[in-house]
Amino acid sequence: MGMECTKEPLVTVVMPAYNAEKYIRRAIESVCRQQGCFGIELLVIDDRSTDGTREAARSCREGYETWKNEASGNKRGQRCPCEIVCIFNPRNLGVAETRNVGIRRARGKYIAFLDADDWWSEEKLRRQVGYLEKYDGILCATGRELMNSDGSSMGRVISIPGEITYKMLLSTNSIPCSSVLMKTAVAQEFGMCHDELHEDYILWLRVLKKYGKAYGIDEPLLKSRMSEGGKSRNKLKSAKMQYGVYRYMGIGRIRSLFYFLQYAVNGVLKYHGSFW
């Protein structure tokens, strides 16, 4: 990519965590094992969890030196130096505002989002940084492999287009939040809002409406755990949220219904009956 190796954070990873004790170690390790010639700042933000999430995050931070020593002998590629910062919300803020805490504190040129129950392939950030640097892009997302709650594969890979426009995104949210790498300045320009809707989807729409397009890497570099209590599991609730996003974006009722029908059809095609 033509960059000098540096320990300074080129990428800030924002990881909101709420009652994620069972999964968070794998998510954090996948960040620390990223390959590349740039520094990573990982912000783990605990949203007043009631389980052992806080202790698990601290344990991961303390154990990072061991991982780093293991990585130094890895022959497949250079590991990114990673700084782990644990942040604890004074009260429960919800996922949108918890991500905003990280967005405001980010020091990297780029910002990535990773939910505490998902994880990445080791080359994910390197590939995305290369894309954004090459094309001077605003946002890059990847394909994903769906995983069961126990971490085993569901045998289903969700593809992503090579380029995504605002109009395309209205028909289906093809950008998984945990796959996104984007310019920090743009994330700070908009932030996230409306937990009661699809807060990440709103951000992507606002960004593409202003800046034009996003890039997609059609490889499952994200491993997406499908938890039983996730928003997308409740079909009626998810449908109401989708319609609410269109109305929030200022789209009239008729056009909102038109886009919602496209969204519903695309949902059936995307998941092949997994959720419908």
SS3 state at 9: strand
Is the model more confident about 80 or about 112? 112
Q: How far out from the chain centre does Cα 231 lie?
A: 15
Give 55-64 pLDDT, tens digit per residue.
999 999 888 7
CATH of region 9-228, choose from 3.40.640.10, 3.90.550.10, 3.30.565.10, 3.40.350.10: 3.90.550.10
Closest by Cα among 217, 206, 196, 250 to 259: 250
Q: How far out from the chain centre does Cα 54 lie?
A: 20
- pLDDT at position 272 is 56
**Percentage above 90 pLDDT, the chain:** 74
- pLDDT at position 123 is 97
- pLDDT at position 196 is 86
Could you say which DSSP state residue 266 is in? H
Q: Does the pLDDT value for residue 183 go beyond 60?
A: yes
Q: Does the pLDDT value for residue 232 go beyond 60?
A: no
CA-derived radius of gyration, the chain = 18
Closest by Cα among 235, 212, 107 to 166: 212
Closest by Cα among 175, 236, 229 to 206: 175
CA distance 268 to 146: 15
CA distance 37 to 39: 7
CA distance 151 to 224: 9
Give 23-48 pLDDT, tens digit per residue.
999 999 999 999 998 999 999 999 99
pTM of the model: 0.90
CA distance 44 to 114: 10
Q: Does the pLDDT value for residue 106 go beyond 80?
A: yes
Q: Contact, 16 vs 115, CB < 8 A?
A: yes
Give the pLDDT mean for 5-18: 88
Q: Does the pLDDT value for residue 228 go beyond 80?
A: no
Q: Contact, 114 vs 176, CB < 8 A?
A: no
Closest by Cα among 204, 218, 132 to 168: 204
Report the b/e string of 44-71 with b at 16+ CB within 10 A: bbbbebeeebbebbbebbeebeebeeeb
Q: What is the DSSP string of 31-62?
A: HHT-BSSSEEEEEEEE-S-SSSHHHHHHHHHH
Measured from the Cβ of residue 233, the count of other Cβ atoms closer than 10 Å reads 13
What does pLDDT average to over the chain?
89
Q: Does the pLDDT value for residue 76 go beyond 90?
A: no
- pLDDT at position 162 is 97
Strand partners for 153: 147
Q: Does the pLDDT value for residue 4 go beyond 60?
A: no
CA distance 232 to 234: 5
Listed range (39-48, 80-89, 174-183, 237-246) with the worst mean pLDDT: 237-246
Structure tokens at 274: 């997994």
- pLDDT at position 274 is 44
- pLDDT at position 273 is 46
Pairing label, strands 163-165, 213-225? antiparallel
pLDDT band at 267 (very low <50, low <70, confident <90, very high): confident
Strand partners for 141: 216
* Residue partners of 154: CB distance under 8 A and separation at least 6: 145, 146, 147, 148, 226, 274
In the chain, where are the structural domains located? 9-228
